[in-house]
Amino acid sequence: MDEPTLQNFAPSRLRVAILAGVLAWAVPGLGHLLLRRWIRACVYFCAVALMALTGYWLRGQVFTRHPVDGFGVLGFLAESGSGVFYFAAHRLERAGPDLSRVAGDWGTRFLATAGVLNFLCVLEAVEIALNRKARPR
C-alpha cells in the first residue's frame, strides 16, 4: 500500500497536526492533551519534566543558541527539545552549570535526553493527529 503524502490530508487535519506538534514541543504532553490522549500526556510531561529538573538540580550544562563547536550544536539541538524547560533554564539553574563534578556531567546527559525524548513525543503527536497511529489512549 502506498504511504499517504501530505497532499492526501485535509487542510484542517494538517493544521491540527502542526498545532499538536508545536504544543507538544513547547510543553511536553500538551500536544497529546490537545488530542485527548490523557494518559500519554501525563506520562510524557512527568517523565520529561523529571529528567529536565533533575538535570538542572545536578547543574548540567545548558547549551546556548550560539555554540562554539559541533558538540555545542548537538547539545543545543538536543536540549532545546524540552521546550519550556529549556527556555526557563536561567530560572531553574540559577547557580549555573558545574562540570567540575561528575554530577554536572550526569545533569548534562539528563537535559539532553529530556529534549530528545520530547522530540520523539512531538513526532508521535503529529502522527496521531494525522491519524496514522492506532487509537488506544
Partner 1 sequence: MTPPRYAHFPMLLLYSFCAACVIGFLSRGSTASRIRSSLWTFISFVALAVAIAWLLYPFSH
Residues contributing to the site for partner 1 (CB under 8 A): 39-40, 43-44, 46-48, 50-51, 54, 57-59, 95, 98, 101, 103-104, 106-107, 109-110, 113-114, 117, 120-121, 124, 133-134, 136-137
If the CB atoms of residues 15 and 88 are measured against partner 1, the closer one turns out to be 88
Nearest approach, Cβ of residue 81 and partner 1 (Å): 12
Nearest approach, Cβ of residue 99 and partner 1 (Å): 12
Helix (H, G, I), strand (E, B) or coil at 44: helix
The x, y and z cell numbers of residue 67, run together, are 555554540
Nearest approach, Cβ of residue 103 and partner 1 (Å): 4
Residue with cell 546556548: 64
